[in-house]
Structure 1
């Protein structure tokens, strides 16, 4: 189980993903509660905003700071994750705008056992169908970003 959530994540979340360099296999980490947002789910009634809405235009915290915080929170090795450039999505929530970034596992093979030990799983995009609309929008955009990059 994930311990207390650091303040950095009041207005920010991370999608944790694995992308194979050779096969382009893309897997998203999913928590036991079903959410793909780390370290906590988005609130109910959240909606991903359009890229051109301007809501995420201002960088409030560097994604590397979030990667460092999630690494510590989840007990990962210091160099396991890296912030993925080119992905920043704004989500409108009842409590205000939340900005979502990607953290990518820097491994040759998917970290299935590591995530299972944290009560999380790695899932393909089709396996995640049925998640709330905001999460599905974030996943779709993350997948597109990873395939283009």
Structure 2
């Protein structure tokens, strides 16, 4: 995955609507996280904001997580740009397509699914991104 892209990965239960975000190595911005100097400079929510073909990005993420192809899908209504030490980083939102979150599998990779209320210790930029993402997810 290019260092100029990050994915926020989430699972929304199809029946209950419970939404959990994947925190991996103390970040929800996979796979390289963000610096403390990062800040949101642009965000797009609603509509079809993602025009790129991101299949390679998803395939790489699935491979890194040891998941099957098709386990992740891009949420096309969310896109943000972060300024991280004068480097623009594109942030995309991707959903796990499984019925239940693959908690046990990702625990083997030091991953944990967290609710929005458990995100308080994340960087302020990550909290802002989760707030924006959550607004899209709940409209779904």
1:75-90 to 2 correspondences below 5 Å: 75-90=66-81
- Other structure's SS at 1:62 match: coil
Cα deviation for residue 58 of structure 1 reads: 8.8
Cα deviation for residue 51 of structure 1 reads: 2.9
The TM-score, its normalising length taken from structure 2, stands at 0.89
Quote the Cα distance in structure 2 between the aligned partners of 1:109 and 1:45: 35
Residue 35 in structure 1 maps to residue 27 in structure 2: yes
Q: Where does structure 2 lack aligned partners over 5 or more consecutive residues?
A: none
Q: Specify the alignment match of 1:135 in structure 2.
A: 126
Cα deviation for residue 133 of structure 1 reads: 0.9
Cα deviation for residue 49 of structure 1 reads: 1.9
Q: Specify the alignment match of 2:65 in structure 1.
A: 74
Q: CA RMSD in A?
A: 1.8
Given that 1:63 and 1:101 are in contact with CA atoms closer than 8 Å, whether structure 2 keeps it comes out as no
Deviates more, 1:118-127 or 1:86-95: 86-95
Quote the Cα distance in structure 2 between the aligned partners of 1:51 and 1:82: 19
Residue 63 in structure 1 maps to residue 76 in structure 2: no
- Superimposed CA distance per residue, residues 20-50 of structure 1 (whole angstroms, 9 cap, x where no aligned partner): 1111100000013x11111111123000124
Quote the Cα distance in structure 2 between the aligned partners of 1:140 and 1:58: 18
| Count of residue correspondences | 136
**Which structure features the higher share of strand residues?**
2
Q: Where does structure 1 lack aligned partners over 5 or more consecutive residues?
A: 1-5
Q: Extract structure 1 runs of 4+ deviating beyond 4 A.
A: none
Q: Specify the alignment match of 1:12 in structure 2.
A: 5
Quote the Cα distance in structure 2 between the aligned partners of 1:40 and 1:107: 24
Q: Specify the alignment match of 2:111 in structure 1.
A: 120
